Amino acid sequence: MISANHKHYQTVKDNSVSKEIFELLHDEDLDMLITSPQPEGAALSKYYESDDYISHTDGKRSLFEKAYHFIKNIALKNKLNLVNGLQDKKGALLDIGAGTGDFLLVAKNGGWNVIGVEPSEKARSIASQKGVELKQQTVDFADHSFDVITMWHVLEHVPDLQSQIKELKRLLKPNGAIIIAVPNFKSYDAKYYGEFWAAFDTPRHLWHFSKTAIKKLFQNENIELIKILPMKFDSFYVSLLSEKYKTGKMNFIKAFFIGLKSNWKAKQKFEYSSHIYVLKNAKN
């Protein structure tokens, strides 16, 4: 459970959209940061209303956006390979926070029966043009419907964290797997950039996880953490955006160096810029 006792950790700015100031609070029991205040409902949605919010568009206007999509295409193949390795046969796959549907399209072409959930009407419209079906929410799905459920950099956006984890439990087949990818505030690049670290992304990121936090939060629903994998590309992408926030410029060489250093240091305590967590129902 998320405790009521939190300590000030850091003050950060919404560098992407509003330029407003937010506070990060540390839950010591879970070792997790909490964005404060947390906008709700329509107030939260306005922080996504920007052409610069790249996951809700297929924009390739700038060198940065082109680089983002080039790396994303490599990552999509890696994600599918991970999913394929979790099940003996391809079944039903649900992607929550599916954006414009690119991962689902790759999985569909790879033989999976796919469906996604995405609250953004703009993103759903783009996905439909690719032949990918997206729903607005999960409530209409039957219990234990999915062999694999993925949330690629989505859990940090969810307003009601504990209800979302309960919903994942409801939707997952007994032998199914959940894949969660989230930023790691304990990485070297997070500590190096501090208030300018792009993956804080307040207030769109409401929660900021550690390995301990993911393990404990899912244990509450009798879901077991099976495996943790690094997302090594993220340190370069996040460092590049962090450089822009810190200096006003895309310092490619500096960002590449920091990303490289972050991955090198991560080998010691396995604290990469982002992690992929593989979870399954605990065995009784």
Given this model, what pLDDT does residue 3 score? 67
Given this model, what pLDDT does residue 52 score? 56
* Predicted TM-score (pTM) of this structure: 0.92
Confidence of residue 71 (pLDDT cuts 50, 70, 90): low
Mean pLDDT over each residue of the chain, to the nearest integer: 92
Q: Which residue has the tokens 């490599």?
A: 74
Span 187-196, mean pLDDT?
98
- Cis ω on the peptide bond leading into residue 37 (within 30° of 0)? yes
Whether 62 has a pLDDT exceeding 70, the answer reads no
Given this model, what pLDDT does residue 41 score? 87
Note whether 188 and 265 are within 8 A (CB).
yes
Span 46-67, mean pLDDT?
61
Given this model, what pLDDT does residue 88 score? 85
Which residues are bridge partners to 152 per DSSP? 181
Q: Which residue has the tokens 């240091």?
A: 265
Given this model, what pLDDT does residue 23 score? 98
Helix (H, G, I), strand (E, B) or coil at 250: coil
- Which residue type sits at 42? A
Nearest 10 degrees: Cα torsion 46, 52, 55, 56 = 50
Structure tokens at 125: 């419209």
Confidence of residue 122 (pLDDT cuts 50, 70, 90): confident
Q: What is the per-residue pLDDT across 17-56, written as a single tens digit (0 to 9) for each?
A: 999 999 999 999 999 999 999 999 889 988 987 765 545 4
- All domains of the chain in start order, with CATH: 7-281 (3.40.50.150)
Nearest 10 degrees: Cα torsion 58, 67, 76, 187 = -120
Closest C-alpha to 38, from 206, 283, 215: 206
